[in-house]
Amino acid sequence: MLTEELEHDSSEYLMPTYARLPISIVRGQGCKVYDAEGREYLDCVAGVAVNILGHGHPDLVNAIEKQARHLIHASNLYYSEPQVRLAKKLAELSFGDKVFFCNSGAEANEAAIKLARKYSTETFGPERCEFITMHNSFHGRTLATLTATGQSKVHKGFAPLPVGFSYATLNDLDSVKSLMTPRTAAILVEPIQGEGGVVVADQSFMKELRALCTERQILLILDEIQTGIGRTGTMFAYEQYGIEPDIMTLAKGLGGGVPIGACIATDHVAQAFSPGSHGSTFGGNPLACAASLAVLRVIEDSQLLEKVQAIGSYLTKGLQELQSRIPLIKDIRGIGLLQGMELSIEGKSVVQDCQARRVLINCTVDRVLRFIPPLIITQKDVDQLIGVLSAVLSKRL
């Protein structure tokens, strides 16, 4: 329950940048969270795809506690063993060779944009500086990343925006080709547009896009802020397409709840950065890196990716069964544990009714319910989610 004092103080002292639901979460355990009065909720938001090991995972908690006793922060003026270990681990797990650490997805995408522009202008000349992104994409809230975001609603009020960005249509290669010019430095794309309505990139589109970028010596940047670190059933979503990018960005699940972002690139591209090219005071601090190493260790040691594939399939089947009997459901789409349900009605009240029945979900682009639970979610939890959705949607028929 939300107290009047907390609601008042929030309105009084916080900038009004969020439309919050009337609930104050004070504790979490596994896939469940609890409000101030002790009521239990099934968490299918997971901090917006962040808490991939759920809440209070002992390995993650222990890693954070152990590192906090030794060193929380020093500076990137000095070497840090957790940072180097994490960079090595991410390079071993991915296509990449070099890593830049930051604190969020927006910062990771900022780093990718800067790196791609610096590499391209130094390699091909100062005119090679523009980017193609996708309509309905979402890449962050900084000036450059909100400009890269192909949604006009996030641009309003922030003009003049940085120049050099244009927008193609996901899964339409001709629309990409029509925007390519000798000034194009890179193409930035999400394998699944999470904030854009859980829209999945086609296999053929991604393969052809990779081939086109290679042919024209244009960098391919994959924004895996939401899809990375096991969300789709592979460590990174690009693995499911049989391609490799030149640059990839990560955040959200990377720290299991501790803020951390990463920009990963091939050695050839990464050499464009030199001391002073980019930086971050808190990026790659020992605490965040220790947390991330624990997350990756749990994923590998517990065979979590195979479990995500199985439970993701179970969730998909449950949602599709609902669609077969509830005409309000227009589409089910997604991969693994990033799933979307498109409705023919607005989803805000559905989210509220699910909360009243102790299940937390969220809604994007007004009509798409998004399900991004912890990767440790069980069949019993999925059954609870499906049951609540069935009750909430059926009463609207």
- Residues flagged as binding site: 105-106, 138, 141, 223-226, 280-281
DSSP letter, residue 206: H
Q: How does strand 219-223 pair with strand 338-343?
A: unpaired
3-state secondary structure of 355: helix
**What's the maximum distance between 2 C-alpha atoms anywhere in the chain?**
62
Distance of CA 293 to the CA centre of its chain: 18
Q: Which two tokens stand for residue 80?
A: 């840090």
Q: Which two tokens stand for residue 191?
A: 């394998």
Spatial distance between the Cα atoms of 306 and 362, rounded to a whole number of angstroms:
25
List CB contacts of 87: < 8 A, sequence separation 6 or more. Answer: 98, 99, 101, 284
Residue 165 region, left (φ>0) first, then alpha (ψ -120 to 50), else beta?
beta
> 272 vs 33, 98, 144, CA distance in Å?
44, 11, 19
Binding residues for pyridoxal 5'-phosphate: 105-106, 138, 223-226, 281
Length of the chain (residues): 397
Binding residues for N(2)-acetyl-L-ornithine: 141, 280
List CB contacts of 18: < 8 A, sequence separation 6 or more. Answer: none
- Given a contact cutoff of 8 angstroms between Cβ atoms, the answer to whether 161 and 212 are in contact is no
The alpha carbon dihedral of 350, 351, 353, 359 has a sign of positive
Distance of CA 43 to the CA centre of its chain: 17
3-state secondary structure of 97: coil
- Given a contact cutoff of 8 angstroms between Cβ atoms, the answer to whether 147 and 162 are in contact is yes
| Cross-strand partners of 188 | 221
